[in-house]
Amino acid sequence: MKRTAALRAVALGAAVAMIATACASGSGGNEEAEGDGDNVTLTWWHNSNTGVGKDYYDQMADQFETDHPGVTVEVSAMAHEDMLTKLDAAFQSGDQPDVFMERGGGELKAHVEAGLVKDITDSAADTISAIGGSVAGWQVEGKTYALPFSLGVVGFWYNKAIFADAGITAAPTTMDELYAAIDTLKAAGIEPISVGAGDKWPAAHYWYYFALRQCSQEVLADATQTLDFSDDCWVRAGEDLEALVAKEPFNTGFLATVAQTGPASASGLLATGKVAMELAGHWEPGVMQGLTDDGLGLGENTGWFAFPAVQGGDGDPTAQLGGGDAWACSNDAPDVCVDFLEFMLSNEVQKGFAEYDMGLPTLPSATAFVSAPELAQLLAVRNEAPYIQLYFDTAFGESVGGAMNDAIANVFGSVGSAQDIVDATQAAAENA
């Protein structure tokens, strides 16, 4: 009897050990081949996972392999949200891909502090100077960590037909003109503006822009570094927002409206002609195309104008709010990774990127190849802007940005004040 028991115990032990090893081998499997010299594999995650964009990136990977014998580029195309989730997990476990997307600001700063991103200041110096000022959002303490390949600005997308029918002939350039347009549209029985306040960040863009108009460039730059919001321009921005909300220009139920998903989203309402305009980034035409049956979005009726000037502000009325995506290398990626980044920012690749409408190229020589007229107009505004402020939530990092966006959404819901936004943001900054 004892031997049976012993045998069983051994079997049990073996079973437990097997389970344990199975678990152990599951976690450590993703070792990258860091070949020294001849055979190198670069893993690359991107979010152009459909249509021409995916094909284009696949071609570019092939071409890079041809130009660099011995280098294999392992491409993973995934949906944007999936990519962000996977990247978060990868950063935590420290096995991020060799080439990945960085959105700049506080997020990049955290990655740099954790030693996850390669410093490319010297190794990619030529490309950095070719891109010019746009690279600023991806610098931490004077060092460059990523090369922005697409940089857009936020502005009002509007339905030209609705504007014309309501008798609005010129796009608003000041807040007073915008208010007049809102009144005209309401009188014509049209909901003027859709906003995805359910997702918070689309609502927050309004406050960001008011802050951009109210605060001087020094105050903005200072706040990004020190997270100090004591200047009263921040409160004035909130007061401007309160005035806009009091005007009730937004779609019915905007507090629960989502940004981009489905016909009842803010983008969907604009795409289907239910509202006249929406404040959104350069991605909006693409999003609207996906939300209409014919795949055209607003088509020829797509119009764009920059966020209006605000009276009495310290900020430059032509400064723009924006953001973009950049390619970065993992700190432990092979050196050829930097070559890949420079290749992706080469004239040739950026030109194709522009021609396929995959984004707004950052390389000045490639901007001429953007074909859609409203995007070309947006690009002209971007290129003329004295500075482009990175979205505050990205710039300040997610913990401060999240608290700030919540407080802004509260003002949209009329349960918070201009001062509350500043207080909540400051409190989160001190806690961060």
Residues that bind another protein (CB under 8 A): 1-5, 7-9, 11-12, 15-16, 19-20, 23, 88, 91-92, 110-111, 113-116, 197-199, 251-257, 262, 264, 397-399, 401-403, 406, 409-410, 412-413, 415-416, 431
- What's the min distance (Å) between Cβ of 4 and another protein? 5
Of the pair 246, 415, the CB lying nearest another protein is at: 415
- The residue type at 45: W
- What's the min distance (Å) between Cβ of 47 and another protein? 19
Of the pair 87, 237, the CB lying nearest another protein is at: 87
- What's the min distance (Å) between Cβ of 5 and another protein? 6
d(CA 429, CA 432): 5
Q: Report DSSP letters for 254-312, one per residue.
A: GGG--SSSSTTSHHHHHHTTSEEEEEE-TTHHHHHHHTSTTS-TTGGGEEEEPPPB-TT
The residue assigned the tokens 């710039």 is: 395
Of the pair 75, 428, the CB lying nearest another protein is at: 428
- What's the min distance (Å) between Cβ of 308 and another protein? 26
d(CA 263, CA 274): 10
The residue assigned the tokens 């000037």 is: 309
- What's the min distance (Å) between Cβ of 158 and another protein? 21
Q: Residues near 344 by Cβ (< 8 Å), separated by ≥ 6?
A: 60, 147, 149, 327
Contact assessment for residue 342 and residue 66, using Cβ atoms and an 8 Å cutoff: no
Q: Is 313 exposed, middle or buried (0-12, 13-18, 19+ CB in 10 A)?
A: buried
Distances (CA, A) of 199 to 74, 97, 272, 329, 361: 34, 29, 20, 30, 27
Of the pair 11, 79, the CB lying nearest another protein is at: 11
Of the pair 193, 336, the CB lying nearest another protein is at: 193
Tokens of 302: 């797509």
Of the pair 268, 361, the CB lying nearest another protein is at: 268
- What's the min distance (Å) between Cβ of 258 and another protein? 8
Of the pair 253, 386, the CB lying nearest another protein is at: 253
Q: Is 344 exposed, middle or buried (0-12, 13-18, 19+ CB in 10 A)?
A: buried
- What's the min distance (Å) between Cβ of 249 and another protein? 15
Contact assessment for residue 188 and residue 199, using Cβ atoms and an 8 Å cutoff: no
